[in-house]
Amino acid sequence: MARPDSKRRKQLSASGTRTDTGQSAQPEQPGRSWWRRILGLIIPPKGQRNRPTISGWLLILVAVGIGVAAYNTGSNILFLVLSFVFSLLIVNGILAMVNFQKLSWELRLPSEFRVGERVSAGLFVRNGKRFYSTRAVWFVVRIGNQKPTRIFLQDRIGSGDSVLVPFSFMVDKRGMEQIRIEGPESTYPFGFLRKQTGSFVEMEILIWPKLDPRPFRIPAPRRTSRVGEVSRRTGSGTDLLHLREYQKGDPLRSIHWKATARTGQLVVRQLADEGTGSYVLHIDCSETLWSDEELFEDFLSRASTLAGSLFTQNRLSGYLFNREEFCQVRHLSSLNELNDRLARAVRHPGRVRPVVQHGNLVRFYPTESGGVGLELAQ
């Protein structure tokens, strides 16, 4: 699953100014003076729109017909009906404006995203009004080039209350993707006008490669240390190297409970690498190796899947990304960084054969059957 981009997000509010809140938006509120509120019914603020619905256009046509008939006949009754129709439209606009008053919302996304996996997200909507509820509201979700979808508020939100509106989506390609939430919108109360606030939130999310469900055989590891020699490199062996403070991502089984009780802080055992069972992944994105785009995506998928599997088994020592230096994987944040790089990976000319002093170097190569194979470097 991919994570939102680490850069600060920018939000365009209904008034057209940019803020740094990132994941929240609030429709622009009309001025406090009464004449500005009335003017807002005729000329909506910048970014807002009032569009007649089908029933609204029918009502307007009826009003025009009644007005023509009243003018030609001079009938007071027809003029009274015409005034009633126009009053209905004005009341519709006033109640629609009050429905959006002090309505704020915030986009909530998970921290990780992955191709082919359904993402559960939500909109946290809050009604800040003291005496009036909000109802019949929806939002529009746009993800990349996908067809826009609507998120409907099923129940009303009472004054001072809030609700989390869940929704889900799926992304079919890795890399950076844009998600845009527009709204709120409503046809409340009579359905004659469709009111749009014009506010929206845009975010860029990073999509990790798809997990490969196919089973694959991991090459048997070779011993990389001399017999009887204790390696000074940290790993998952049985020899104790030293004790250190607990860090986020450390496995719970490595906690040294006696030292923890003595010091009052979580302390973990740092074990020496025995040279067996740990792997180093070589991520080679060269065009000469992966000439086919589909095969390249398959390679990234298998690399991400293997990295996660080895990390879960505490057998992933690190990785080499193209021509860069060795990167050690000790914590979950390091694994997430590898998945981020796989999500942004592009093919490049040339090929590199690195030399690794410790660990078992795993290389990926295209097979004759059109798949992706694994091998240990000689």
Residue 284 shares a structural domain with residue 265? no
| Same domain flag for 198 and 327 | no
Last residue of a domain, one of 224, 250, 272: 272
Residue-wise pLDDT tens digits, 83-99: 998 888 888 888 888 89
Query: Are 170 and 284 part of one and the same domain?
Result: no
Handedness of CA 345, 351, 355, 358 (dihedral sign): positive
Stretch 36-52: mean pLDDT, rounded?
70
Residues 15 and 116 in one domain: yes
Q: Are residues 307 and 258 in the same domain?
A: no
192 within domain boundaries: yes
Among the three residues 226, 248, 272, which one is the final residue of a domain in this structure?
272
Please give the residue that has the higher pLDDT: either 46 or 97: 97
What would you report as the CA-atom Rg of the chain, rounded to the nearest whole angstrom? Answer: 31
Each residue of 296-318: b (16+ CB within 10 Å) or e?
bbbbbbbbbbbbbebbeeebbbb
Q: Is residue 220 included in any domain, yes or no?
A: no
Q: Does residue 97 share a domain with residue 24?
A: yes
Residue 299: its H or E element: helix 293-312
Can you give the CATH number for the domain in which 73 is found? 2.60.40.10
Mean pLDDT, the chain, as a whole number?
Answer: 80
DSSP state of 253: G
Q: Is residue 310 part of a domain?
A: yes
290-306 mean pLDDT: 93
**118 pLDDT tier (thresholds 50, 70, 90):** very high
Does 244 lie in the same domain as 153? no
pLDDT at 230: 38
pLDDT per position as a tens digit, 234-246: 455 445 556 778 8
Return the pLDDT at 45: 66
- Is residue 227 domain-resident? no
Determine the 3-state secondary structure of 1 from DSSP.
coil
Predicted local confidence at residue 24, as pLDDT: 43
pLDDT above 70 covers a percentage of the chain that reads 77
3-state secondary structure of 151: strand
Amino acid at 124: F
pLDDT top residue among 258 and 77: 77
Mean pLDDT of 237-264: 76
Beta strand 149-152 with 360-366 is unpaired
Whether 143 maps to a domain, the answer reads yes
User: How does pLDDT run across 305-316, given as a tens digit for each residue?
Assistant: 999 989 988 889
The pairing of strands 360-366 and 279-283 is: parallel
Peptide bond into 184 cis (omega under 30): yes
Asked if residue 341 and residue 255 are part of one domain, the reply reads no
Q: What pLDDT score does 272 carry?
A: 53
Q: What pLDDT is recorded for position 137?
A: 93
- Give residue 351's pLDDT band: very low, low, confident or very high (50, 70, 90): low
Domain that holds residue 307: 279-376
pLDDT band at 226 (very low <50, low <70, confident <90, very high): very low
Q: What percent of the chain has pLDDT over 90?
A: 35
Same domain, residue pair 25 and 67: yes
Q: Domain check: are 264 and 174 in the same one?
A: no
Please indicate, yes or no, if residue 4 is contained in any of the structural domains. no
Same domain assignment for residues 253 and 293: no
Q: Reply yes or no on whether the pLDDT at 231 is more than 50.
A: no
- Average pLDDT of span 35-45: 65
How many domains are there within the chain? Answer: 3
- Are the CB atoms for 101 and 72 separated by under 8 Å? no
Nearest to 176 by CA among 343, 294, 348: 343
Geometric angle at alpha carbon 233, from 305 and 241, rounded to 5° = 115
Does the pLDDT value for residue 30 go beyond 60?
no
* pLDDT value at 229 more than 50: no
* Domain assignment of residue 213, yes or no: no
Least confident of 171-180, 274-283, 299-308: 274-283
State residue 242's pLDDT score. Answer: 62
Render 317-364 in DSSP notation, one character per residue.
EEEEETTSPPEE--SHHHHHHHHHHHHH---BSS------SSSEEEEE
Which residue did the predictor score with more confidence, 1 or 56?
56
The mean-pLDDT minimum among 131-135, 204-208, 253-257, 325-329 falls in 253-257
Q: What is the Cα–Cα distance from 243 to 262, expressed in whole angstroms?
A: 13
Taking residues 364-373, what's their average pLDDT? 88
Q: Which amino acid is at 118?
A: R
The answer to whether residue 97 sits within a structural domain is yes
pTM of the predicted model as reported, rounded to 2 decimal places = 0.71
Shared domain for 241 and 289, answered yes or no, is no
Q: How far is CA 199 from the centre of its chain?
A: 19
Mean pLDDT of 13-34: 41
Among 57-66, 108-117, 137-146, 190-199, which stretch is predicted with the lowest mean pLDDT? Answer: 190-199
Of residues 247 and 104, the one with the higher pLDDT is 104
Instruction: Reply yes or no on whether the pLDDT at 367 is more than 50.
Output: yes
